[in-house]
Chain A
Amino acid sequence: MFEIKLCKNKGAYSAKPLKTISLDLQKLKKEFKVVDYTPVVMVIDIDGELIVHSHGEILFKGREEKDMEAMKKIANRIYEVAKR
């Protein structure tokens, strides 16, 4: 459903869906702590800040490769909650 690897600038791990999807960021507001948001990007806090794009990309700030399993679980949860 998605893959997680370093983003293009290598600054953070990024989850990207394998097929084009659209996320309803408003649904994330009900489930998670929101740090800030715009119409197409939301920053939430799940054991650390994540940047979620409405086109499906999730950027995990401050995570390392050893956190891969945790990132997968978080990504799964976000897609489950917010997928249109």
Chain B
Amino acid sequence: MKGLVLVSGGIDSPVAAYMMMKQGVEVGAIHFSNEPFTDQKQELKAKEHMKKLAAMFNVNIPFFIAMHGKVQAEFARNADRRYQCVFCRRIMLRVAERIAKEKGYDFLITGENLGQVASQTLPNMAAITKAVGIGIMRPLLCNDKVETIKIAKEIGTFETSIGPGVCCNLVPQNPVTKARLHSIEINESKIDIEELIKKEISDMKEELILP
């Protein structure tokens, strides 16, 4: 089976990819770049992680780069910024779902870990997941961070993950932690979501990472 993993450049997503690849899942990877609100370092880290996994499992990994910053800015200008992180994740999943369907992936994979950041509370994750119909595998959902870091060190991705990088500059001061679907949908209705998703997909770059 094939899974499309959302990779950020952080500690968790390469570990999630590794866990699934260990189970024999064939993976592709999609990175959402928040440029110009960050720089290219996170993208390069994500690519480095996939190179490591490609070499480890001796496989090719398709690597998609979605330009996500403009979509984020459109939401921030027009809607309630407290929902920025929830919105961001919902759009990521929608874009990833379309790519997954187009390229023949059976499900999405994320490195989400319960309670770690604002978008990863149970109510927020429930609201985020409702954006798509495709299955989502979350192999690290209930991991203790220490466990995830241990695996990251074992597979050699930890040092890259903690390397220098410009963090996301779009996180609101007071993000919602118990988002209600109704409120999210009201905010999403303030922008042309479909047009933004189409643009993000049409601007997408695709590479093939070789072992």
Q: Is the CB of B76 within 8 A of A39?
A: yes
User: Chain B's nearest CB lies how many Å from the CB of A38?
Assistant: 4
> How many pairs, one residue from A and one from B, have CB atoms within 8 Å of each other in the complex?
56
A43 touching B166, Cβ below 8 Å: no
A24 at the interface (CB under 8 A from B): no
Residue ID in chain A nearest B39 by CB atoms: A61
* Min CB–CB distance B48 → chain A (angstroms): 15
Q: For A41, what are the chain B residues with a Cβ–Cβ distance below 8 Å?
A: 37, 76, 169-170
User: Cβ of B77 and Cβ of A38 under 8 Å apart?
Assistant: yes
A53 contact from B77, B81, B169, Cβ within 8 A:
B169
- 0/1 string, B68-91, CB within 8 A of A gives 1: 011011001100010000000000
- The size class of the interface chain B forms with chain A is 10 to 19
**Cross-interface CB contact of B166 among A36, A37, A53, A59, cutoff 8 Å:** A59
Per the bound structure, the CA–CA distance linking A40 and B73 in Å amounts to 10
Chain A to chain B contacts (Cβ below 8 Å), 19 pairs: A6-B164, A7-B167, A8-B167, A11-B164, A11-B166, A11-B167, A35-B36, A36-B37, A36-B73, A38-B76, A38-B77, A39-B76, A39-B81, A40-B76, A41-B37, A41-B169, A51-B169, A59-B169, A61-B39
Given A36-B73, A40-B76, A49-B36, 19 more A-B residue pairs with CB atoms under 8 Å apart are A6-B164, A7-B166, A9-B166, A10-B164, A10-B165, A11-B41, A11-B165, A36-B37, A38-B72, A38-B73, A38-B76, A38-B77, A39-B76, A39-B77, A40-B81, A43-B37, A51-B38, A51-B166, A59-B166
Residues of B within 8 A of A (CB): 36-39, 41, 69-70, 72-73, 76-77, 81, 164-167, 169-170
